[in-house]
Structure 1
Amino acid sequence: MTKRHPVTRQRAKELRANMTPPERALWEALRANRLGVKFQRQVVLAPYIADFACRSERLVIELDGDSHAARESEDAARTAALETRGYRVLRFTNAEVLNNIEGVARDILTALGHDPDIPRPL
């Protein structure tokens, strides 16, 4: 049985309600199976909250803003912990998402093993 983390779940709910502009932009590309698989946003993978996750493909997508510049070791530890649980982790900067959403979507499709040249609605 999975242990519930009510504080983490509440924080994830708050994060979903207050998404940043880069998170909203990427969510528009990921939501409603637009890349051929189901993604969820602000997913509790206790003790972490992943920005986006496709559980069926064991893929986590993290967006790194300015606040991550001084957190490389924490982000590396988080990535390693998620990888030990069988997840692959893709990281994109906020600038990449805002300035090149098509390229980000192609990278995600490639990670999923899908043909990135097949047109998909973004």
Structure 2
Amino acid sequence: MNPPKPRLKYELARQFRKDLTPPEVRLWARIKGKPDGIHFRKQHPIGPYIADFYCAAARLVVEVDGQVHNLSDVAERDEGRLAWLGAQGLEVMRINAADIMRDADEAALGVLMRARAVALSVSEMTEGA
């Protein structure tokens, strides 16, 4: 699958922001508004991809994985996406959509804790350079 053209990708991201899935809505409700000073963007374009959520300070991509991610062709694309994002120095945190639906507060807490930890290590690396 070829990545979308840049203009189309930004239009897709805009549309995706309007059409969040139920698990994405539940997670976004808990991480938007800079909780603990951590800023997230939803449906954020990164290179040829659109991340479900992105925290620039932590260089953290958060992906909500629904049942479609269990299909073999989608799983293969996910692997390529993970490799590309990792090569850009980004950390990817994948969360099962069912886990968010079961306990969105716990899922959001995990995301915020990971973002804080990664942001701190990124900050330490840049200060030491």
Decide: shared fold, TM above 0.5: yes
Gap regions ≥5 residues in structure 2: 118-129
Deviation digits for residues 1-44 of structure 1, max 9, x if unmatched? xxx81110000000011111111101001100124310000000
Contact 2:65 2:95 in 1 (8 A): yes
Distance 2:97 2:19 in 1: 16
Report the counterpart of residue 126 of structure 2 in structure 1.
none
The alignment's TM-score, normalised by the length of structure 1, stands at 0.84
Q: Is structure 2 residue 77 aligned with structure 1 residue 100?
A: no
Distance 1:67 1:35 in 2: 32
Report the counterpart of residue 58 of structure 2 in structure 1.
57
| AA aligned opposite 2:108 | A
Distance 2:96 2:20 in 1: 15
> Are the structure 2 counterparts of residues 39 and 72 from structure 1 closer, same or farther at C-alpha, using a change threshold of 3 Å?
same
Superposition CA RMSD, Å: 1.5
Contact 2:43 2:53 in 1 (8 A): yes
Gap regions ≥5 residues in structure 1: 115-122
Report the counterpart of residue 88 of structure 2 in structure 1.
85
Aligned partner of residue 62 in structure 2, secondary structure: strand
Tell me the number of residue pairs that the alignment of Structure 1 and Structure 2 aligns.
Answer: 111
Distance 1:101 1:65 in 2: 14
The alignment's TM-score, normalised by the length of structure 2, stands at 0.79
- Percent pairwise identity: 32
Report the counterpart of residue 48 of structure 1 in structure 2.
49
Contact 1:62 1:92 in 2 (8 A): yes
> Are the structure 2 counterparts of residues 106 and 15 from structure 1 closer, same or farther at C-alpha, using a change threshold of 3 Å?
same
Aligned partner of residue 74 in structure 1, secondary structure: helix
